[in-house]
Every structure is written in C-alpha cells, then in structure tokens.
C-alpha cells in the first residue's frame, strides 16, 4: 500500500529548537567521553489510547474489532523494537459521528480533541477515521502547555490498519508515530540544508508516494553526488509500506533523535490531563 502522510511540515521554530536539543545532547556525550555515534539503547513504555470514529456499526462504516487494534499494537512494537519503544493498549473508545467519520480529520478538530484526548503528554492518542482512507497525520512534539496537549495526537485512516478489510500491513501508523516522536521525513529539504537533521539518513528528493519497491541494487539516487541512495526501507520515507524494513526501518541516528526528543519534550512533562 502506498504512503499518504498528511502531517504538516515542521515549522522553522521547531527545526531550530531541535538543532539546539541535538547540539546540547552531543555536548553532554562528549563530556562523558562518548563517541557521538555511540549511545545506550533504552526501554521506553508508551500507553496508547485508541478512538475509533465510525458512521455506523458495520465494518464498511469504520467499525473495527479489538483484533484489528491489537494487531496494530503488535505492528508498532515490531517496528519500534530496535529503538526500544514498547506500546501497550490503555483504552479504546468508539464514537459514532458520520460527519467526523467521513471527513479527513479537520472539521471540528478542537471540539473533537476535547472529547477524545486521554492521558498525559507521554500518552499516545490514535484517532482512527474512515475519511483518511490509507493516510494519516501526527503532531510533532513541542513545549508543553494546555493547547499542545489538546492537539497532541495521531490520526490514521481506517483502511491503513491491519485486519480492516484491506491489505494494509499497519506500517503507515509506524511512520506517523515516528513524527509524534520527533522524526521528520527523510526527504525533508531535498538535497539541501540540514535535511531531516539526522546524519545517517541519505538525502533524497520527494517524488510523491511510490507504490512499488525497486529491486535490490536498483534503488533510486535522487541526490547524485551525495552519500547513499534513497532510503527505500526507511519508515520515514514515502515508499510503499511493503518496502519498509521491520528490523532496520529506523537508523541509529533516528533512534538517537527519538530519545533526545522524548527526553526534552515528553519524559518530564507535567502529569496534566484534559479528561
């Protein structure tokens, strides 16, 4: 299934703050005598609240059983295993609202979030919406306040979940949760600038969702003259989810960035909840 990510492009303020976080972490590592590329893998538990938005009680109206939700949790854990993030299901809420179900997630956003947002800033909220089809979007982390908490969520199309009546593998949600943990697209800024701010992801150009995996050795090279070919197997690329590697879908640099972003924005956020 091809990728259809609708997450907003991170703004300049977030990018600048992320570079400061990264530089501070590198300085701490050097003070401890650690090589910048060496880091200790960690175990981080993340509770997940699912909200299933439907227009009725039938599968074609967005209704999902617990088997699909559990399958999605398993896929998340497989994809993030190497990074040490473990996701566990905290709650499931079904909401029957045809207007929201048939939208792409925008109308009534704030009203919806006030009803659905559960847990603190360390809790992952996944809202499943039929109108998003096989796409999704997630917010990037940011400095904590009530509005940041209110809008903090991932939204994923019903068709992107496993066991949803499609051939989806559930890896689109891995891509979106990567944004929630602070990763940008690998093609950010194309062949120019800081790219995705991760040193070990090859720079490349975004050519839209790619539905097929190129044969081994025939990966495109859209930034010739720069190290590496386009990262076909990386979760944060726009290649089809079948291309993404469940074992090596995140590079060491991406894993290190997720730790930095988690520590700075989420780990020590106040235990504030809206509901």
Q: Which residues are catalytic?
A: 176
Alpha carbons 255 and 269: distance in angstroms, whole number: 20
Q: Nearest to residue 8, comparing CAs of 76, 111, 118, 109?
A: 109
Helices (H), 80-191: 98-101, 109-116, 146-151, 171-180
- Per 3-state DSSP, what percentage of the chain is helix, strand, and coil (rounded to 5)? 30, 15, 55
Give the separation between CA 125 and CA 247, rounded to whole angstroms.
Answer: 24
Contacts of 212 (CB under 8 A, 6+ apart): 240
For residues 141 and 149, give the distance between their C-alpha atoms in angstroms, rounded to a whole number. Answer: 10
Query: Do 1 and 166 form a contact (C-beta atoms < 8 A)?
Result: yes
């Amino acid at each position: 299934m091809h990728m259809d990510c609708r997450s907003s492009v991170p703004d300049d303020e977030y990018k600048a703050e992320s570079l400061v976080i990264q530089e501070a972490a590198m300085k701490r590592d050097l003070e401890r005598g650690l090589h910048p590329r060496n880091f200790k893998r960690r175990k981080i538990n993340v509770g997940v609240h699912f909200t299933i938005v439907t227009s009725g009680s039938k599968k074609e109206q967005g209704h999902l059983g617990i088997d699909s939700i559990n399958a999605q949790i398993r896929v998340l854990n497989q994809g993030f295993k190497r990074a040490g993030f473990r996701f566990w299901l905290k709650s499931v809420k079904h909401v029957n609202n045809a207007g929201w179900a048939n939208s792409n997630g925008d109308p009534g956003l704030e009203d919806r979030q006030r009803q659905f947002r559960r847990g603190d800033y360390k809790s992952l909220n996944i809202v499943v919406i039929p109108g998003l089809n096989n796409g999704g979007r997630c917010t990037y982390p940011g400095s904590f306040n009530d509005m940041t908490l209110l809008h903090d969520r991932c939204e994923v199309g019903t068709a992107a979940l496993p066991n949803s009546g499609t051939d989806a593998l559930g890896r689109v949600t891995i891509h979106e949760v990567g944004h929630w943990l602070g990763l940008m697209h690998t093609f950010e800024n194309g062949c120019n600038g800081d790219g995705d701010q991760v040193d070990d992801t090859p720079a490349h150009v975004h050519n839209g969702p790619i539905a097929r995996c190129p044969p081994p050795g025939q990966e495109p090279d859209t930034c010739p003259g720069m190290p590496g070919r386009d990262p076909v197997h990386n979760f944060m690329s726009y290649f089809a989810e079948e291309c993404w590697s469940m074992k090596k879908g995140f590079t060491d640099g991406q894993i290190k960035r997720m730790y930095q972003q988690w520590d700075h924005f989420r780990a020590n956020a106040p235990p504030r909840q809206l509901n």
